[in-house]
Chains A and B, each alone.
Chain A
Amino acid sequence: MGKMILDGEIVDNGWQRFEPGQLEEDGQSLPENQPVIVPLAYWQAHRDTLLEREAPVGVCLEPGEEPADLAADLPHLPLVAIHFPAFKDGRGYSYARELRSRYRFTGEVRAVGDVLQDQLFYMHRVGFNAFEVRADRDIHEALENGLRPFSVTYQGDVHDPRPIYRRRQELEQA
């Protein structure tokens, strides 16, 4: 079982994630008692069956698949993963932000794929709380140095939507 970062701690990754097309191609069925993360298309095709499962189901969005495609289902989902095929593809940042700010999604938002130390801070600010750091990298160093390189942020974010001047102003007035 791989390790991952969840809410600022290193934990075992108990979820099994399936790539788009993987379940269909392998003719595989989902492991019954394990939490799984399925592709959006699979979720859409098997929604009713999946909702009846006892073990939790999460959905993974690929770039180009927006939270809007999943909006109605969000109340049923404990987890939404966002896949970064390459860390340079920044669409997932807007998706995470939308999940949190627009759809008020309170479950786990997990970054999967090309997830590296130097992007964790931004990812955390836009709403990710779980990170499957790429397996060939030191997850301890990523946690230690990647999540909080800055104590100062100008803009608001999903944790505190106020820009710095509002935060300071309210601090002074308090």
Chain B
Amino acid sequence: MYVYQDYDQRLLEERVAQYRDQTRRYLAGQLSEDEFLVLRLQNGLYIQRYAPMLRISVPYGLLSSEQVRTLAKVVREYDKGFCHVSTRQNIQLNWPEVQDVPDILAELASVQMHAIQTSGNCIRNITTDEYAGVNPKEIEDPRPWCEIIRQWATFNPEFAYLPRKFKIAVNAVPDADPALIGVHDIGVKVIHNDAGETGFQVWAGGGLGRTPMTGQVIGEFVPWQHLLAYLEAILRVYNKYGNRDNKFKARIKILVKALGAEKYRELTEAEFAELKDGPMTLTEEEVARIQGCFTEPAYRDDVDSGVLDKALQENRAFNRWYHTNTRAHKRDGYRSVTLTLKKTGRIPGDVSDEQLEAIADLADRYSFGELRNTHQQNMVLSDVATDDLFELWEKLDALGMATPNLGLLTDIVACPGGDLCALANAKSVPVAEGIQRRFDDMDYVHDLGPLDINISGCMNACGHHHIGHIGILGVDKKGKEFYQITLGGRGDKLSRIGEKMGPSFESYEVTDVIEKIINVYVDKRLENEPFIDTYERIGMEPFKEHVYG
């Protein structure tokens, strides 16, 4: 992972001092609520329903075991022993005290962690494929580009007070969208031209939230040297012309749509023409330095494939977990292992201090001391030798993190919802649990195959409901919680916004509705046809008829 230089570390320490002073002035009444609001948000601190929430940045989801141990300590000392993996691959604490936050930041800074720009109207955490660097399908490792963008975005003086929040994701897998770049303010797709040179297809104007839409291609092929100049050009156009009168129309997607992609491109190109070949131009040396931080670990050449074969034959539960929760790897003899944080009865994405410590130990023992958070609120050990898998599975099983449901119906993505979040119109966690309890037969869940259910407690869409094959959105109707269902969203091969099925439901109806939807699928599916393919083949009507009929 990226190795901090002295100056990276100094920046964090200066940030802690700055934020400590801001907190002091706020508590002393020298900063108004409104002024402090903006400052604390740029530091990831929300004031929530019961307590503040602190969102800790995990750049492109990558964590070291040392960082995870520090997180465990912070969670134990300053929170209630739990933290939450968010859909932006970050970590959230739900019960810190405002006055403790500077101390938490100091603790985090000691292991190169921070909460810089995890909220507010600025450039947020850069995200990517959770299997980046080990995914056999990627054309190159996207993480160095993420890091280059991260540094440019960190305390960028021109873009700290944008019209609205700004999210950038990077993808290097052809014909798939594991980083959801189609629904980001800017999506960066790593591509190679005919000469084999790296460049980027740059998308802009995607987003979820109140007005979901997929982005449009603004830059067809931006040579790698000019990545930052191009991003800066897009941002400057947005900073100048984005809507500032109405926060619901302030995201870049509204501007791109209003101007049209053609006009947005024209404005961007005009800015870009001035920046291109200037001091922002990336150098081979700097890119090589950053790439040098993401080298292959010391893979073993003597992985014994017999160990895995034997375990797969002998243990049915292990076999199921292997086929569900592990993924192919660039390197022969290795797999990526996903720890699903989706055990029924637990808040999706929640992990305890003890689990964090155990996970850190497992990362050290089995995966070169590194971990990743996923936007589906799980964690990944990316480099596990196949002859270690059985042993690892046994340990994960004991920790409650080997539920074999990755990508299946019960691997539900859900925001914290009305139980914790002040923005939410409705609860999301009990809805997830209701569905998980109804579908408690793991054989049946496996028979149903790949199925993404995403739940958001309000239209801010932190649970990414628009891109769930089945999306569930909490809405408020005269003070009562209702849920609107969408079908056909995708965040897999491509990003696509789901369609609303019809009138919304009361909370007690939701599980039955999901069951009815599933029944239609089971009735109509062709052999080996996943839910989303059936939906795309037969359309909304049969589902609608059965649910509302």
Contacts and interface: CB of A to CB of B under 8 A. Distances in A.
A155 interface: yes
A161 B279 contact: yes
A112 interface: no
B157 A88 contact: no
Nearest to A84: B161
Interface string A116-155: 1011011101100000000000000000010001111111
Interface in B1-48: 7-8, 10-11, 14-15, 17-18, 21-22, 31, 35, 38-39
B314 interface: no
A151 B14 contact: yes
Top 8 nearest A-B pairs by Cβ distance?
Answer: A90-B161, A122-B157, A125-B157, A152-B11, A161-B279, A154-B151, A149-B18, A165-B286
B239 A90 contact: yes
B276 interface: no
B80 interface: no
Contact of B161 (A89, A125, A150, A153): A89
A163 B157 contact: no
Nearest to A118: B39
Contacts, number: 102
18 contacts: A66-B240, A87-B35, A90-B160, A90-B161, A93-B161, A94-B239, A97-B158, A97-B236, A102-B274, A122-B155, A122-B160, A151-B14, A152-B14, A154-B155, A162-B279, A163-B280, A166-B279, A166-B286
B155 A153 contact: yes
Interface of B: 7-8, 10-11, 14-15, 17-18, 21-22, 31, 35, 38-39, 121, 151-152, 154-163, 236, 239-240, 244, 274, 278-280, 283, 285-286, 289
B155 A94 contact: no
B35 A118 contact: yes
Contact of A156 (B7, B22, B280, B286): B280
Nearest to A89: B244
A164 interface: yes
A3 interface: no
A119 B158 CA distance: 11
Contact of B18 (A87, A93, A150, A168): A150
Contacts of A102: 274
B431 to A, nearest CB: 35
Interface of A: 63, 66, 87-91, 93-95, 97, 101-102, 116, 118-119, 121-123, 125-126, 145, 149-157, 161-166, 168-169
**Residue among A152, A156, A162 having the largest count of chain B Cβ atoms under 10 Å:** A152
Contacts of B10: 151-152
A153 B154 CA distance: 9
Given A161-B278, A162-B279, A91 B240 contact: yes
Contact of A88 (B31, B121, B155): B121
B157 A145 contact: no
A149 B14 CA distance: 7
A142 to B, nearest CB: 11
Contacts of B279: 156, 161-163, 166
A162 B280 CA distance: 7
Contact of A155 (B18, B35, B121, B156): B156
A164 B7 contact: yes
A165 B155 CA distance: 16
Nearest to B235: A94
**Residue among B14, B22, B155, B158 having the largest count of chain A Cβ atoms under 10 Å:** B158
Contact of B155 (A66, A116, A150): A150
Nearest to B240: A94
Nearest to B285: A169
A165 B289 contact: yes
B7 A93 contact: no
A164 B162 CA distance: 23
Nearest to A162: B279
A89 B121 CA distance: 10
A163 B18 CA distance: 22
Given A156-B279, A161-B278, A90 B159 contact: yes
A95 B244 CA distance: 16
Nearest to A145: B21
B158 A116 contact: no
A116 B22 CA distance: 12
A153 B280 CA distance: 14
Contacts of A153: 155, 157
Contacts of A162: 279
A66 B160 CA distance: 19
Contact of A91 (B7, B155, B239, B285): B239
B531 to A, nearest CB: 43
B14 A150 contact: yes
A22 to B, nearest CB: 23
B39 A150 contact: no
Contacts of B154: 154
**Residue among A93, A102, A150, A161 having the largest count of chain B Cβ atoms under 10 Å:** A93
A35 to B, nearest CB: 28
